């Protein structure tokens, strides 16, 4: 750096210096000169610093380190225009450096720079003041200071100035400012839109580009779009899009159009000015052919298609054919834009059919296995929309072998990709052949991972929806259970998101269709969670009641404990047990859990079971099994006494409830003695007497206290060393025991009855019988049926008409 500085002395003193030529080759010396009281020295020093800083970033940082910034910020207020202008030149060029910008934040220089935007200042001052603001407006703090110091009106005024450099710098500053909503709103109120539109006619392409970028950001606000529309902004954009010589502006122009078409009124203007036709032309054959133009045109179509009316309009302009053509383009970007647009257009039913007829479904399926993750995600999104409520499109995905790839995507890890893949599979699973094919790829097990680790609400919604669609098959439910999917599913019942909670209830209502899954769900606390949901007015939903009923219908032991009654359609099977009533919210333990508890003083758990390890056994087989178990226990005890370590070489067999040979005998007796009776009433009477005989016979109500059934049950518990008591081993039973036995026997021989729990060990069975017909009169059609309570205790076989004093007395204490 070298500058000659002449020092003039106007004082006519004989001792005064003559002008002294001075050269400096170091920046430090020039920085020292910034403290000179002489205006000419200051002006030349500032200019020298400007030229030095202009040479590179290292020089700017060097000047910052030498302390040049504070004096330069002071000199922009100097009275001399030359000093002031050169100081701003130095400040403007230095401010483009990141380190300098950070230092300027602390010096609070923005208000001073904004003052230099006044009309009285020279053009060079405006140029470098706006250059400084363009650099400082990148940061949020700078934007706020410019807004608070009313810099925006001056910047808008300078947009219409004659100097292109001032216009460019002002435009860059405005572009930075309108990234924030308050500045966008203020610019519209200050009438900045017309100035921006006028700049579209500039002879300088860089100014046109900046103006379009500013309009693109500005038109994200509704008020700005209104102002843009009122100033005939669409016509000016269409002039650009129709001018092949301005093809370098087509990308930015399309982005502005994309923002504006979100409004119905704006779209109408686009349509009136031939915009949609031109849009299709840019997709089909842009001039020159550029992927970026096609990408933005497809993006514009996607935004236009957000409303149903617009989709219909696009369909009339053959937008589907244009988008399908983009699927064969070279770049992933244009394919992604086409897929996004197809996803939106497919909300129009006619467009779904058109896409299929153009073989678009197959083309999109191929994209699932090609390109990057973003393209695959866009393709999955398009398929989820194409297959929604469209069985033909779902079948087209199936024919293109897309189901296997979609199942693989469930393990991808990307929430968006998993969401779209699960949605598509759920759409396909409505058709049984497709569902069976999907299940062969391990789709249910693949859902467990996303169910455990999904990070977005949308992915959880689609995964649970997909599970509900696939779990219709018993094999699928078993696969899901074995894969460990039930715990995370139950966990989502506690979700704070209403739709996630609703979908979790829906999935549980499907999964609970078989007993093993229902039992496991209850074990995991699903029942208590559903009870809590159904008791809340805010959390209850359309599926929570259904899920609760499904869970209970598939687990009748729990249903009887919770509701206190079983309908005639509730058919008990092996393993049914009565653990007594439970209060709402209390956990209902499984039979296996109850079997592992130490013997207690609570009522015994009655179990009805004729099978052990999946086979039916008679009393002799049960005795043989017990003998084998005793021998094994004795052998194990001997091994322990001898100090031997027992090692399990085989997988432990699943727990099974104790086999009840006596109950099996009762089933056999009932089958032989009752089914041969043809009269329904006689069948109920005979079954009641069989039950009463098995449990101690008739007992007069006045002598019930002498029956000593409690002692008998305690002896059974002690003898078995278990809280579980097989129903067939009970020889002294009262109302609740007899009613359970009656229900279990009736279900096994195909006789219909209910089971209702009362208070204080009361329980009874209700049956439907046709009413009595007078002799000689044909029975009415249809016959009226009456409800009866079966007496199993006092006069076994008596059928007490419901709601009569006798029935009420039997049901009450």
- Please report how the helices 360-367 and 391-399 are oriented relative to each other, as an axis angle in degrees rounded to 10: 50
pLDDT tens readout for residues 585-602: 777 888 888 888 888 888
Q: Which residues is 756 bridged to in the sheet?
A: 565, 764
Residues 6 or more apart whose CB falls under 8 angstroms from that of 63 comprise: 27, 31, 49, 52, 53, 69, 94
Which pLDDT does position 536 carry in this prediction?
87
In the structure encoding, which two tokens stand for residue 172, read together? 């860059």
Which pLDDT does position 27 carry in this prediction?
82
- Specify burial of residue 431 (Cβ count, 10 A radius: 0-12, 13-18, 19+): middle
The secondary structure of residue 191, as a DSSP letter, is: T
Q: Which residues of 510-532 are buried (b: 16+ CB within 10 A; e: fewer)?
A: bbbbeeebbbbbbbbbbbbbbbb
| Cis preceding-peptide flag for 288 (omega within 30 of 0) | yes
Q: Are 649 and 716 in contact (CB under 8 A)?
A: no
Residue showing tokens 């109920």: 684
CA-CA-CA-CA torsion sign (298, 299, 302, 304):
negative
752 Rama class: left (phi>0) / alpha (psi -120 to 50) / beta: beta
CA–CA dist 152, 317 (Å, integer): 42
Q: Are 461 and 423 in contact (CB under 8 A)?
A: no
Helix (H, G, I), strand (E, B) or coil at 789: strand
Q: Are 121 and 83 in contact (CB under 8 A)?
A: no
Which pLDDT does position 648 carry in this prediction?
41
CA–CA dist 294, 292 (Å, integer): 5
| Strands ordered across the beta sheet of 763-764 | 565-566, 755-757, 763-764
Q: How far apart are the first and last CA of the chain?
A: 112
Below-70 pLDDT ranges, the chain: 1-25, 262-264, 266-267, 270-271, 273-276, 279-280, 282-289, 413, 612-653, 771-783, 813
Q: Are 4 and 23 in contact (CB under 8 A)?
A: yes
- Specify burial of residue 94 (Cβ count, 10 A radius: 0-12, 13-18, 19+): buried
CA–CA dist 428, 423 (Å, integer): 9
- Please report how the helices 402-409 and 415-428 are oriented relative to each other, as an axis angle in degrees rounded to 10: 140
Q: Are 407 and 438 in contact (CB under 8 A)?
A: yes
CA–CA dist 315, 321 (Å, integer): 9
Residues 6 or more apart whose CB falls under 8 angstroms from that of 362 comprise: 396, 399, 400
C-alpha distances in Å from residue 508, one per residue of 477, 486, 504, 541, 565: 10, 9, 6, 13, 22
Which pLDDT does position 517 carry in this prediction?
92
Residues 6 or more apart whose CB falls under 8 angstroms from that of 345 comprise: 301, 302, 305, 311, 314, 315, 319, 320, 323, 351, 355
Residues 6 or more apart whose CB falls under 8 angstroms from that of 199 comprise: 159, 167, 171, 207, 208, 210, 211
Which pLDDT does position 682 carry in this prediction?
93
Residue showing tokens 């991808």: 412
| Cis preceding-peptide flag for 33 (omega within 30 of 0) | no
Which pLDDT does position 781 carry in this prediction?
58
Cut 0.85: pTM above it: no
| Cis preceding-peptide flag for 21 (omega within 30 of 0) | no
Which pLDDT does position 5 carry in this prediction?
37
Q: Which residues is 606 bridged to in the sheet?
A: 578, 725
Instruction: Please give the backbone phi and psi of residue 451, each rounded to the nearest 5 degrees, phi first.
Output: -65, -30
Q: Which residues is 578 bridged to in the sheet?
A: 606
Helix (H, G, I), strand (E, B) or coil at 653: coil
* Mean pLDDT of the chain, nearest integer: 85
Residue (of 384, 372, 475) closest to 422 by Cα position = 384
Residues 6 or more apart whose CB falls under 8 angstroms from that of 713 comprise: 603, 604, 725, 730, 732
Residue 246: count other Cβ atoms within 10 Å of its Cβ: 15
Instruction: Please give the backbone phi and psi of residue 657, each rounded to the nearest 5 degrees, phi first.
Output: -70, 160
| Strands ordered across the beta sheet of 605-608 | 576-578, 605-608, 724-726
Which pLDDT does position 251 carry in this prediction?
81
């Amino acid at each position: 750096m070298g500058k000659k500085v002449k020092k003039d002395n106007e004082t006519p003193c004989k001792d005064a210096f003559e002008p002294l030529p001075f050269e400096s080759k170091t920046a430090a010396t020039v920085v020292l000169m910034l403290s000179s009281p002489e205006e000419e020295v200051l002006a030349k020093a500032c200019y020298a610093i400007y030229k030095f800083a202009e040479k590179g970033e290292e020089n700017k940082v060097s000047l910052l380190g030498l302390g040049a910034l504070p004096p330069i910020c002071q000199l922009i207020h100097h009275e001399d225009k030359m000093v002031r202008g050169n100081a701003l030149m130095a400040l403007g060029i230095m401010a483009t450096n990141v380190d300098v910008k950070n230092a300027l934040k602390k010096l609070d220089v923005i208000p001073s720079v904004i003052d230099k935007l006044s009309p009285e200042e020279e053009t060079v001052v405006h140029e470098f003041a706006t250059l400084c603001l363009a650099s400082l407006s990148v940061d949020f703090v700078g934007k706020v200071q410019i807004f608070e110091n009313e810099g925006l009106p001056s910047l808008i005024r300078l947009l219409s100035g004659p100097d292109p450099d001032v216009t460019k710098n002002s435009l860059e500053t405005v572009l930075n400012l309108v990234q924030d909503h308050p500045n966008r709103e203020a610019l519209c109120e200050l009438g900045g839109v017309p100035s921006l539109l006028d700049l579209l006619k500039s002879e300088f392409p860089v100014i046109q580009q900046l103006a379009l970028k500013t309009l693109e950001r500005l038109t994200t606000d509704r008020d700005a779009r209104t102002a843009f529309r009122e100033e005939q902004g669409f016509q000016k954009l269409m002039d650009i899009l129709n001018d092949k010589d301005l093809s370098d502006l087509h990308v930015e122009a399309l982005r502005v159009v994309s923002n504006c078409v979100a409004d119905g009124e704006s779209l109408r203007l686009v349509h009136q000015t031939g915009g949609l036709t031109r849009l299709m032309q840019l997709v089909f054959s842009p001039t020159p052919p550029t992927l970026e133009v096609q990408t933005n045109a497809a993006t514009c179509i996607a935004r236009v298609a957000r409303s149903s009316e617009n989709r219909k309009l696009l369909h009339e302009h053959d937008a589907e054919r244009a988008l399908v053509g983009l699927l064969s383009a070279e770049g992933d970007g244009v394919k992604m834009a086409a897929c996004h647009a197809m996803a939106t257009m497919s909300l129009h039913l006619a467009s779904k059919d058109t896409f299929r007829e153009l073989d678009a479904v197959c083309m999109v399926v191929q994209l699932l296995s090609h390109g990057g993750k973003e393209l695959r995600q866009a393709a999955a999104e398009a398929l989820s929309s194409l297959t929604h409520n469209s069985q033909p499109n779902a079948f087209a995905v199936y024919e293109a072998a897309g189901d296997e790839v979609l199942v693989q995507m469930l393990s991808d890890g990307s929430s968006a990709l998993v969401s779209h893949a699960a949605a598509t599979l759920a759409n396909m699973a409505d058709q049984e052949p497709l569902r069976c094919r999907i299940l062969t790829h391990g789709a249910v097990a693949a859902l467990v991972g996303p169910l455990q680790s999904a990070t977005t609400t949308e992915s959880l919604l689609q995964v649970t929806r997909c599970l509900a669609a696939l779990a219709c098959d018993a094999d699928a439910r078993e696969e899901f259970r074995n894969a460990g999917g039930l715990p995370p599913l139950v966990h989502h019942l506690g979700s704070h998101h209403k739709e996630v909670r609703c979908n979790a209830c829906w999935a549980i209502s499907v999964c609970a269709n078989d007993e093993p899954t229902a039992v496991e769900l209850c074990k995991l606390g699903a029942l208590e969670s559903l009870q809590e949901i159904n008791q809340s007015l805010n959390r209850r939903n359309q599926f929570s009641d259904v899920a609760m009923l499904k869970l209970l219908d598939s687990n009748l032991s729990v249903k009887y404990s919770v509701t206190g009654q079983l309908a005639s359609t509730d058919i008990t099977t092996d393993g049914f047990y009565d653990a007594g009533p439970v209060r709402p919210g209390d956990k209902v333990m499984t039979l296996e859990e109850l079997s592992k508890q130490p013997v207690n003083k609570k009522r015994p758990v009655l179990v009805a079971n004729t099978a052990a390890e999946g086979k039916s056994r008679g009393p002799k087989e049960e005795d043989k099994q017990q003998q084998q178990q005793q021998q094994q226990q004795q052998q194990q005890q001997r091994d322990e006494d001898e100090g031997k370590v027992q090692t399990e070489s085989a997988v432990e067999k699943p727990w099974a409830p104790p086999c009840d040979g006596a109950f099996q005998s009762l089933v056999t007796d009932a089958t032989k003695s009752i089914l041969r009776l043809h009269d329904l009433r006689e069948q109920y009477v005979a079954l009641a007497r069989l039950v009463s005989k098995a449990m101690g016979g008739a007992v007069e109500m006045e002598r019930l206290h002498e029956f000593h059934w409690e002692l008998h049950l305690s002896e059974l518990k002690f003898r078995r060393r278990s809280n579980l008591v097989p129903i067939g081993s009970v020889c002294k039973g009262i109302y609740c025991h007899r009613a359970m036995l009656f229900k279990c026997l009736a279900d096994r021989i195909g006789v219909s009855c209910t089971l209702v729990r009362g208070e204080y060990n009361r329980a009874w069975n209700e049956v439907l019988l046709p009413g009595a017909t007078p002799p000689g009169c044909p029975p009415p059609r249809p016959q009226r049926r009456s409800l009866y309570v079966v007496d199993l205790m006092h006069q076994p076989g008596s059928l007490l008409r419901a709601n009569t004093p006798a029935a009420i007395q039997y049901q009450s204490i």
